[in-house]
Structure 1
């Protein structure tokens, strides 16, 4: 599709697609919040699943496009690299806070710890599935990918159940001196603002549909142009997918997350990141069904490394939610500082792995 195009043209196409994903992604997130509030989807299991898919449409588009093209390296790198870099988005949210305490201090909730555990569980299963034989596939399904899907549904159900009450002193599982209003209050405010502007549910749904189509189209073009750019500059598909491509598809999470933080809906901001990260490995199931190949058993060393990095970064924020450090360094919590440093070191290790395996 992009054969013969020069690097400047490819970079321009990539940047334009990233811009579309930023704008359409923000609209998608806003209309999703409004629709979930109006249709009372927020706390329902089906609603949570719909929201997880909607907020990860760029990754869905890239996975489908890469699987159809047989370029599974980019798909795997984008999924696992996306988890690591979307966790780093929490660092940006922490810096954006106008508080004297860190993000995890205000957002501290046992429900968020449950969501963090779900991210860790699906990543560990992904790592385990890489060790299974590639011939273990039937009806375009592999045991590892299926198990990830099943565990994700169970985990989302447990998270939904936890949001309705936990057997603790504080039934909501929320720490004292956390955010003042309940989790998700920013969705209600967006709905109220939309109502004041006279926007009907049908109009909001149409904007949602248009934003979804734009995001999907931009995601496909982003993957194709990104693959061509990686070839031009001699960067491996996995490395490009895990860094530049993953960063581009994380732009909507960055924008909407900072918006949630500034509206003082800290728990929702963290929950959106963990929820999206837990859903991303489910896309391995989609990649297997489309390509008809066992994706995870063919994973490279860098893929397993990225999954481990995602587990490590998630564990740090889970600990932050439990211990609630008050100290801020460079306008962020100690946990965010640790995540930022470890991610930088981790990307350095990723380059070393890529170089060691000949790209």
Structure 2
């Protein structure tokens, strides 16, 4: 149905779906923060897994739908472009948190592990794309490896938070993850179950909006003659990443800094799994070998931005240029360079 709409209707549907995606962000942040307190798992872990998964759902639907439609570049670029966009959002949040460099205040071992996990997942993707073209029932073995590494990595992140082998140096500016509420008393009707139920309903709506974004994004590529890589990396990726932007800014405003950082990093690690789902949905062979150098460029940019962020989380610079850390400056610089290169293609 959407494939037959004219340009004004396609743009209208795209914008409406984007507004729905953005509008759910604040509510999901509040629910995730409460779940972190109720379950005792902590903001970094809950933000990295639950919030990261749910806010990434619309992006997952975009990539899978594009792959089913045979749009390999759109599916791939949406995933890796989203990683770059969301990391840039974290730098924007650092600009708004004027007290001190946010990565310094939100020191958390789980965030370091999740960022390292993200770098490993992106490396596996790069190996798959540049290695021999292998497919079993149309699926590259690397797609299964990504899932295994993700599961083991998230379990490790949770385990090191419970029993860390080392701790970040505490300073006057270090912000501890302190629960804002205790577990609800029995029979109060305010248990964890209802919170999870609300969370899942909002995530489902995000998935529907993601389907609309994918269909209209592909149609825009056809109508405007713009490459699927550009549409995926700069339009659908940014639009479906709006929950990460909204939830990150809302979390910073609430003082939940570890939730903000964990949500971005967790969303990025989950975004890599878009490629697994997309590879399964893409029926013309290995998805990794159906993309071009422009798509791999965004993969490299996402990896570089992630490693700069990891360095910033380790160094924990108090303040740098414009009152933010060197990692935020580097992340914004890399993203700006990527946009310039894409525009000049």
The partner residue of 2:140 within 139, 142, 161 is 142
Match of 1:290 among 249, 268, 281: 281
Alignment partner, residue 229 of structure 2? 238
Deviating beyond 4 angstroms after TM superposition, the runs of 4 or more aligned structure 1 residues are 39-51, 178-181, 190-193, 197-203
What are the superposed Cα offsets for residues 183-206 of structure 1, whole Å, 9 maximum, x if unpaired? 3x4xx437889xxx9866565444
Partners of 1:68 and 1:124 lie apart in 2 by 25
Q: Does 2:248 align with 1:276?
A: no
1:286 to 1:270, Cα distance in 2 relative to 1, 3 A:
same
> Aligned pair count?
342
Partner of 1:165: 163
Say yes or no: does 1:122 pair with 2:113: no
- Equivalent residues of 1:95, 1:332 under 8 A apart: yes
1:96 aligns with 2:96: yes
Residues 43-93 of structure 1, C-alpha deviations (whole Å, 9 max, x = no match): 999996555422311112112211222222211011000011110011111
1:144-197 alpha-carbon deviations (Å, 9 max, x no partner)? 1111111111211221122113223xxxx23311665533x4xx437889xxx9
Structure 1 counterpart of 2:154: 156
Larger mean Cα displacement after TM superposition, 320-329 or 157-166: 320-329
CA–CA distance in structure 2, aligned partners of residues 90 and 46 of structure 1:
17
Q: Matches of 2:189 and 2:172 in 1, distance apart?
A: 34
SS in 2 for 1:130: helix
TM-score (norm 2): 0.88
Q: Provide closer, same or farther for how the CA distance between residues 163 and 40 of structure 1 changes in structure 2, counting only shifts above 3 A.
A: closer
Higher alpha-carbon deviation: 44-53 or 118-127: 44-53
Q: TM-score, normalised by structure 1?
A: 0.85
* Alpha-carbon spacing, 1:342–1:201, altered in 2? closer, same or farther (3 Å): closer
Pairing partner for 1:174 from 163, 168, 183: 168
Partner Cα distance (2:279, 2:172) in 1:
42
Mind listing any 5+ residue stretches in structure 1 that lack a counterpart? none
**C-alpha distance in structure 2 between counterparts of 1:284 and 1:10, whole Å:** 26
Say which of 179, 190, 202 aligns to 1:211: 202
Specify the alignment match of 1:260 in structure 2.
251
Rounded Cα–Cα distance in structure 2 between residues aligned with 1:106 and 1:46: 18
Q: Note the residue ranges of structure 2 that are not aligned, 5 or more in a row.
A: none
Residue 319 in structure 1 maps to residue 317 in structure 2: no
Shift of 1:41: 5.9
Cα distance in 2 for residues equivalent to 1:153 and 1:246: 24
Q: Does the 8 A contact of 1:86 with 1:250 survive in 2?
A: yes
Q: CA RMSD in A?
A: 2.9
Do the aligned residues in 1 keep the contact of 2:32 with 2:50 (CA within 8 Å)? no
1:30/1:70 Cα in 2 relative to 1: closer, same or farther (>3 Å)?
farther
